[in-house]
Structure 1
Amino acid sequence: MADFKVVLSDPKTGISYKVEAAGAMAGALMGKKLGETVSADALGFEGYKIELTGATDRTGIPARKDLPGAGKRKLLLSESTGFRPTYDGQRQRKTIRASEITSDFVQINAKVVEYGKKDLAAYFAPEEAEAAAE
């Protein structure tokens, strides 16, 4: 089973939180697509809904929401996800991952779209207190 680092962004506060997803938590994200809204109950955030906004694999290759399926493809890109041109009109062929979450991914980016009863900061408060004590 795959292990993911989920970077969860809170649009209200502008703070991002890192969540380690392994086992059943990671399995809940497998097969989902970028841009899809999923329940965050499997990640331990009761009542929350998150939108998957981006992902990268272990080599740093980004995923694109508009590329269907799973796996990698080589695309001719102008300015967009995966390529930043250095001059006007520049295009380059780059390897890009498709939008379906597979075991090849390492990091998944998400943002909160629906909030639960408990504040997000309350879930991460004990970890922050331990880090401050060290």
Structure 2
Amino acid sequence: MADLKIVLSDPKTGKAYNVEATGGMAGAIIGKSVGEEINGDALGFAGYKILITGATDRTGIPARKDLPGAGKRKLLLSESTGFHPTYNGQRQRKTIRASEITSDFVQVNAKVVEYGEKTMEQYFAPEEPEAAAEQ
């Protein structure tokens, strides 16, 4: 099974959190597409809805929302995802990944759409060891 790094953005606070998805967590994301909402319970966030906003494979090639299917394609691009021209009217042929998340992806970008009972900071707060508090 693939291991994924999920960069989860919280629009309320403007913070981003890193989530390591392995095993079943990664399996919940593989097969989904960029622009699709997933249930946060699969990632351990009860009551949350999460929107997949983008992804990158192991070589740094980004995924495009408007390119269906899986795999890579070479496209002639103007200003868009995967290419930013240096002069007006410039176009270039670039390799781009399709929108379906596969095991080739390393990083998935996502944002919170619906919130649960606990805040994101409560999930990611560092736990204080009880032994140190007693001393």
Give the TM-score band, short-chain normalised.
Answer: over 0.9
What is the alpha-carbon root mean square deviation over aligned residues?
A: 1.1
Give aligned pairs, total.
129
How much has 1:40 moved relative to structure 2?
1.1
Alignment of 1:94-109 (within 5 A): 94-109=94-109
**CA deviations over 1:45-100 (Å, ceiling 9, x no partner):** 00100000000000000000000000000000000000010000000000000000
- Whole-angstrom distance in 2 between the partners of 1:81 and 1:27: 26
Q: Which amino acid aligns with 2:25?
A: M
Runs of 4+ in 1 over 2 A off after TM superposition: none
Matches within 5 A, 1:14-93: 14-93=14-93
Structure-1 separation of matches of 2:118 and 2:40: 13
- Return the index of the structure with the highest Cα Rg: 2
Letter aligned with residue 96 of structure 1: I
Q: Deviations over 1:3-36 (max 9, x none)?
A: 0000000000000000000000000001001000
Which blocks of at least 5 consecutive residues in structure 2 are unaligned? Answer: 130-135
TM-score by length of 1: 0.94
| 1:42 Cα deviation from its structure 2 partner | 1.0
Amino acid at match of 1:100: E
Secondary structure of the equivalent of 2:126? Answer: helix
Aligned AA (1:122): Q
Give the gaps of 5 or more residues in structure 1: none
Alignment of 1:93-132 (within 5 A): 93-126=93-126
Q: Deviations over 1:99-119 (max 9, x none)?
A: 000000000000000000000
The normalised TM-score by structure 2 is 0.93
